[in-house]
Every structure is written in C-alpha cells, then in structure tokens.
Amino acid sequence: MALHNTPSSYGSIAKIFHWGIALIYTALFISAYIMMDMPNSDSKFFIYGIHKSFGVSVLILAAARLIWRLFSTTPLPATNTPSWQALFAKFAHFGLYALMFAMPVSGYIMSTAGGHPVKLFGLELPALLAKNPELAKLARDGHTWISYAILALVSAHVIGAFYHHWIRKDDTLLRMLTTSKKSS
C-alpha cells in the first residue's frame, strides 16, 4: 500500500488519520454519553480524564492530518460525480476539519475556565485561561452544539459514502477501505 495519496486513491497515512480519528471520536462520544448521567465519583472523574486525553489526542492528530492534507495530493472525485456533489463533499470535509479543531478547543476552554486541569494521559497541559465560570459555561454550550454538528456532518459523510458504494456503484468508499488503485 502506498504511503501517499494519488489522484485516484488515498494512501496509508491518510487512511490511518481518517480511521484513527474516527475511532477516537467514537470513544469520545461513548465516554461523553456515559458521563452525562453519572454522579460525581472517582469513576466519573477517571472517565473525564480519559475523555480529555482523547480530546487532546484528536487535536494533535487533526493538526498533523491537516498538515498532511495541505502537502499531499487529494484524490479526485469518482468519475461522473455531479459537480454539486463534489462541491457538497468539499464543504462537508471543510466543516469536519473545522469541527475537529473546534471540539477539543472548546473542551479545553470549558475545563480550564472551569478550574479543572487538562491532561494528556497524565501529562498536565498548561492552563492558558484563568478560572471564569461564565466562559466555562459558554464553552460547555459550544461543546454540546459542536457535538451535534459533528454527528450531523459525520452522518452525511457516511450516508454519502454508502450512496456512492451502493447506488452509484463507484469506488469512493473503497478508496478509503482498501488498497485498490482502481478508479471509477
């Protein structure tokens, strides 16, 4: 499998970024769901710690992924993809990238402005903000709304991939799943 993208396929590095971030976001959403109704306890704070570590990890991976994307070839849309679909996909990808940064940044602001440390698997990050309950609440609300936007865009992304695979029968989905170099 090639490391780099080509005009017709994604390379292994792009696939690792894609699926790695997808896996971490899945863990983030599951941990958030679990924490929502838990009473304050050591277990809840342990899950918060893991959640924050995964959030910081997403921020680091998103930065690396963006740098990789800026200096790599982006595969072209599958042959015969209508221009409006290609444009929608570009906007969706832009939105997903923006949200990959906005979500962990809002979490960091929520935690530090709330007076809580943010650690990356035990390594405490500097608190760049003073305690500010109003800012913490604003960031928490933003974190919640960003999560809804992520769920909406990821749903559109998955539906689009399945549409291309099952309805259009092109290789859009397969290019992110396999080592195939075929281009439809």
138 in a structural domain: yes
- pLDDT bin (cut points 50, 70, 90) of residue 38 is very high
6 in a structural domain: no
3 in a structural domain: no
pLDDT tens digits along 46-66 = 999 999 999 999 999 999 999
Q: In this structure, what token pair is assigned to residue 40? A: 């304050």
pLDDT tens digits along 76-107 = 999 899 999 999 999 999 999 999 999 999 99
Indicate the number of domains in the chain: 1
1 in a structural domain: no
184 in a structural domain: no
pLDDT for position 180: 53
82 in a structural domain: yes
Helix or strand or coil: residue 7? coil
- What average pLDDT score do residues 21-31 get? 97
- What average pLDDT score do residues 155-166 get? 95
pLDDT for position 178: 78
4 in a structural domain: no
CATH code of residue 122:
1.20.950
The CB-based long-range contact list for 133-139 (8 Å cut-off, 24+ gap) reads 135/109, 136/109, 136/110, 136/111, 139/106, 139/107, 139/109, 139/110, 139/113
pLDDT for position 183: 43
pLDDT tens digits along 120-141 = 999 999 999 999 999 999 999 9
Q: In this structure, what token pair is assigned to residue 27? A: 């863990």
Q: What share of the chain has pLDDT > 70, as a percent?
A: 97
135 in a structural domain: yes
Range of the domain at 58: 12-177
